[in-house]
Amino acid sequence: MLVGVETGGTTIRVARADRPDRPFHVLTLPTRAPEETLDRLRQVLVDVAGGQRVEAAGLAAFGPVDVDPQSPTFGVVGATPKAHWQGVDLRAVVADTLGVPVFLDTDVNAAALAEQRWGVGGGCTDLSYVTVGTGIGVGAVVEGRLLHGTSHPELGHLVVRRHPDDDFEGVCRFHGDCLEGLASGPALRRRWRRDPADLAERLPRARSIEAFYLAQLVVTLEYALSPLVVALGGGVAAMPGLLDAVVSASADLLGGARGDHPLATGRPFVHLSGLDGQAGLVGALTLAHDGLEARD
Ligand SMILES: [Zn+2]
């Protein structure tokens, strides 16, 4: 049996499974201060395991996190805006509680893996996953393997061209008006002084500006990694009509620069993330599954 853990900005989910794409006994807890959250996580891990023999665990961790198994700080949270989480060893909490090997990646890389293998990727070799919520994160499977570089992609901080009607200063604590600063859930809330799910009469304008920024990420991914599919997840992705607006804005921005591209030929290219909102959790279980296979 496998155990999967997805630590998100607002919620942590834990599940067990025999097959990675079938999470079972899913339990959730809110992400609060580390001490309180980790005590509760230890208890939830024990509950989910239910006294059964666990072979391995997968951890899909919010970034930035050290994903290098050779590093002395493997599994430790890096410089994050989440208060008091920097330096927390997420991997050790899971490993020490369950006493099993823990295979770890970022939440977005795990979601990319899940979508590529079990979701909208349909087994294709190249898929990028974009989440737009508390922050903006990107994970990618390239030629069938998760993309890391020397750590992992941080494309949420992409430098973007300004929408001509947007003078919002942005909310990124590092850059102000990077992509995350202008298009994350907190950015929407601050700019429109409304919950992103409740924009009402401001929706068309908000959607148009949001799509303008997200399209720059989609096109950047396309130029850099040539994915067959971009999967769009996170709370903001559910904004009515956003998917179509992003596809349309991406085609405009591409401007014929790649005539063979699916956008130019009308084939679907950007999809909403599937897997019932459990891409991260399914990804965590897949990391555990693949990790075990690689050791055998
Ligand atoms: Zn930034």
Distance 171 CA to ligand 1 centre (A): 8
Distance 185 CA to ligand 1 centre (A): 14
Distance in angstroms (rounded) separating the CA atoms of residues 154 and 165: 27
Distance 35 CA to ligand 1 centre (A): 27
Distance 85 CA to ligand 1 centre (A): 18
Q: Give residue 296's pLDDT band: very low, low, confident or very high (50, 70, 90).
A: confident
| Mean pLDDT computed over 92-102 | 97
Comparing CA positions, the residue from 95, 34, 86, 37 lying closest to residue 65 is 86
Query: What pTM did the predictor assign?
Result: 0.93
Q: Give residue 7's pLDDT band: very low, low, confident or very high (50, 70, 90).
A: very high
Residue 231 has pLDDT above 80, yes or no: yes
pLDDT value of position 268: 65
- Beta-carbon count within 10 A of 50 CB: 10
Q: Give residue 269's pLDDT band: very low, low, confident or very high (50, 70, 90).
A: confident
| Mean pLDDT computed over 16-39 | 96
| Mean pLDDT computed over 200-208 | 96
Q: Give residue 264's pLDDT band: very low, low, confident or very high (50, 70, 90).
A: low
Q: Give residue 261's pLDDT band: very low, low, confident or very high (50, 70, 90).
A: low
Distance in angstroms (rounded) separating the CA atoms of residues 1 and 18: 5
Distance in angstroms (rounded) separating the CA atoms of residues 219 and 222: 5
Q: What percent of the chain has pLDDT over 70?
A: 96
pLDDT value of position 202: 95
The per-residue pLDDT of the chain, averaged, comes to 93
Distance 118 CA to ligand 1 centre (A): 31
Look up residue 134 and give its two tokens. 């508390």
| Mean pLDDT computed over 166-180 | 96
| Higher-scoring residue by pLDDT: 224, 261 | 224
Q: Looking at 40-54, 69-83, 94-108, 156-170, which range is the least confident one? A: 69-83
* Contact of 83 with 33, CB cutoff 8 Å: yes
Q: Give residue 197's pLDDT band: very low, low, confident or very high (50, 70, 90).
A: confident
Distance 177 CA to ligand 1 centre (A): 7
Distance 3 CA to ligand 1 centre (A): 33
| Higher-scoring residue by pLDDT: 258, 49 | 49
| Mean pLDDT computed over 262-281 | 80
Distance in angstroms (rounded) separating the CA atoms of residues 90 and 100: 14
Phi and psi at residue 7, in whole multiples of 5°?
A: -100, 115
Comparing CA positions, the residue from 125, 177, 162 lying closest to residue 147 is 125
Distance 192 CA to ligand 1 centre (A): 20
